Amino acid sequence: MNTPKARLDLQRFKRLGMVEAIWGEHKTAAQIAEILETLRLANEFALVTRVQLHKAKDVQNLIKEVTYHSDAKCLTMGDPLPLKPALGKVIVLSGGISDLQIAKETELALHCHGIVVELLVDVGVAGLHRLLSNLEKIKEAKALIACAGMEGALPTIITGLVPQPVVGVPVSVGYGVSSGGNSALQGMLSSCAPGLTVVNIDNGYGAAMAAIRILKS
């Protein structure tokens, strides 16, 4: 029986201004390489999320032009879009170092779309002074993305302090009931801070695309 081939949305960038991201976690290296080859023939930029190092090496053995971003666990192929400073800057905040992979996925997805992005790491609420000392810098952004595990309080705190749109990303980091990111997700969804937008657990790419829609609105 023949293996079904992926049906790529090659018109997504023209339609939405966003490249189609490829979910890499449950695809084989051969399947990813086949998709990348299709994108290359169509002169499309490629972004593959959720790729572990061993699989990335297998893909690179098949397609040499692929770059692996180990901190984000993503693959890219091609040149990112030119920077568009006029759209404004997005600041991505990471509650802790353990949230860094998702924050880096978010940062990379924004960079690939030509968005000016800055990453602030380890500004979680366990040491609130770390966040408050960056408050003036945070106010310079047009939109904010806050990645946090544990109880996921960081996006709520930020949304209560600044008027800019905030997208919260629950991260699957934490002890006991926090594990899997459900506590962070439910905390963000239950936030009393008005206007907080929340994406799914570990969905850095989705948060980046939400921010792009905000910038272009």
Query: What separation in angstroms does the CA of 17 have from each of 39, 67, 74, 215?
Result: 16, 22, 20, 12
Do 127 and 207 sit in the same domain of this protein? Answer: yes
Give CA–CA dist 22/17, Å, rounded.
16
1 inside domain: no
Q: What is the pLDDT of residues 62-71, one digit of tens each?
A: 999 999 999 9
Last residue of a domain, one of 46, 77, 108: 77
Check: CB of residue 181 under 8 Å from CB of residue 172: yes
| Domain encompassing residue 211 | 85-216
pLDDT of 3 > 70? The answer is: no
Q: In CATH, what number is assigned to the domain containing residue 47?
A: 3.30.110
| Comparison of pLDDT for 158 and 7, the residue scoring more | 158
- Is the alpha carbon torsion for 84, 100, 189, 139 positive or negative? negative
Closest CA to 174 of 198, 150, 141: 150
Alpha carbon 197 to its chain's center: 14
Kindly state the average pLDDT of the residues 186-209. Answer: 96
Kindly state the average pLDDT of the residues 82-88. Answer: 95
Check: CB of residue 145 under 8 Å from CB of residue 211: yes
Confidence at residue 7, expressed as pLDDT on a 0 to 100 scale? 75
Alpha carbon 123 to its chain's center: 18
134 inside domain: yes
Confidence at residue 20, expressed as pLDDT on a 0 to 100 scale? 81
Do 55 and 105 sit in the same domain of this protein? Answer: no
Do 97 and 199 sit in the same domain of this protein? Answer: yes
Confidence at residue 90, expressed as pLDDT on a 0 to 100 scale? 98
106 inside domain: yes
Give CA–CA dist 155/187, Å, rounded.
10
Q: What is the pLDDT of residues 16-75, one digit of tens each?
A: 888 889 999 999 999 999 999 999 988 889 999 999 999 999 999 999 999 999 999 999
Q: Which residues contact 127 (CB under 8 A, 6 or more apart)?
A: none
Closest CA to 9 of 50, 39, 48: 39
Kindly tell me the burial class for residue 165, based on how many C-beta atoms sit within 10 Å of its own C-beta (0-12, 13-18, 19 or more): buried
pTM of the model: 0.92
Kindly state the average pLDDT of the residues 160-177. Answer: 94
Last residue of a domain, one of 57, 77, 97: 77
Tell me the sheet residues that pair with 121. 94
Confidence at residue 124, expressed as pLDDT on a 0 to 100 scale? 84
Do 45 and 100 sit in the same domain of this protein? Answer: no
Q: How confident is the model at residue 2 (pLDDT cuts 50, 70, 90)?
A: low
51 inside domain: yes
Domain total of the chain: 2
Do 138 and 200 sit in the same domain of this protein? Answer: yes
